[in-house]
Amino acid sequence: MALFNKKSKENTEVKVDERLQHIAFIMDGNGRWAKKRGMPREYGHTQGAKVFKEITEYCGDIGINTVTVYAFSTENWKRPKAEVDAIMKLFIDYIYEALNVMMKKDICIKFLGDKSPLPDKMKELMTEVEEGSKNNKKHLNIAINYGGKDEIVHAVNTAIAEGITEITEKDIEDRLYTKGQMMPDLIFRTAGEQRLSNFLMWQSAYSEFYFTDTLWPDLKPEHIDAAVENFYQRQRRYGGL
């Protein structure tokens, strides 16, 4: 099956099939991108938010069913308050426009993570967007105040509170923030680091990884095309032969 239908040298039309249904991004490098330009880190996050919209839209266009992004970790609260406030403002601005976009594009949006410490207005908006889009077919997961370890502990404690005494893998999977969704086929990290940083620890058990030195705000559709092409050269054996 032709995944890469070359229209011309410059214009490659990429389409994915059922082997690549879920791609997850660790959006790293906003701060470095701003520093290189002599600008405050917040400027990098603003550009990062624009690129987040472009890249998630592009992934939908090439047929990816589920996109997950790591937007704010449980550890990111350690950053200076001004930076945290600027990131939260970007989230709120985005959430305001999200429902409209999600309905037009048939996307169900879900926020992964512990919402409890987030501002009340933001929590209300998040719930409104999740409820409003829940019957849509494609998925966009935005991890905010998310930690993979925290998610697993939360799932186990929920199972215990429900009276389950011998916990199975399915008991945990059914209580993750990503309940009912496909596991990520590909985890894509920008900006040179090659680590998971507490992202989707359970879900990534058999994910493929792709790393690029490109900083998140410089990411373009052609970087996605390169990752897709690379993914299709891999053999996934899931522990078998």
Binding site residues, ligand FPP, CB under 6 A: 27-32, 45, 48-49, 52, 71, 76, 87, 90-91, 94, 142, 191, 216
Contact 228, 16 (CB under 8 A): yes
Q: How far is the CB of 16 from ligand FPP (least distance, A)?
A: 22
The CB-side HSE value for 148 (13 A sphere, CA atoms) comes to 12
Pick between residue 119 and residue 174 the one whose CB is nearest to ligand FPP: 119
Q: How far is the CB of 125 from ligand FPP (least distance, A)?
A: 12
Pick between residue 94 and residue 209 the one whose CB is nearest to ligand FPP: 94
CB closest to ligand FPP, residue no: 31
Given 61, 76, 114, 136, which residue is catalytic? 76
Pick between residue 34 and residue 228 the one whose CB is nearest to ligand FPP: 34
Could you list the beta-strand ranges (E) of 64-182.
66-73, 107-112, 138-146
Q: Which amino acid, residue 124?
A: E
Could you list the beta-strand ranges (E) of the chain.
4-6, 12-14, 22-26, 66-73, 107-112, 138-146, 186-189, 208-211
Q: How far is the CB of 153 from ligand FPP (least distance, A)?
A: 22
Of residues 45, 50, 200, the one with CA closest to residue 112: 200
Query: Is 218 labeled as catalytic in the residue annotation?
Result: no
Given 28, 30, 65, 185, which residue is catalytic? 28
Pick between residue 13 and residue 83 the one whose CB is nearest to ligand FPP: 83
Query: Is 150 labeled as catalytic in the residue annotation?
Result: no
Compute the distance between CA of residue 17 and CA of residue 164 in angstroms, rounded to an integer.
38
Which residues are known catalytic residues?
Answer: 28, 76
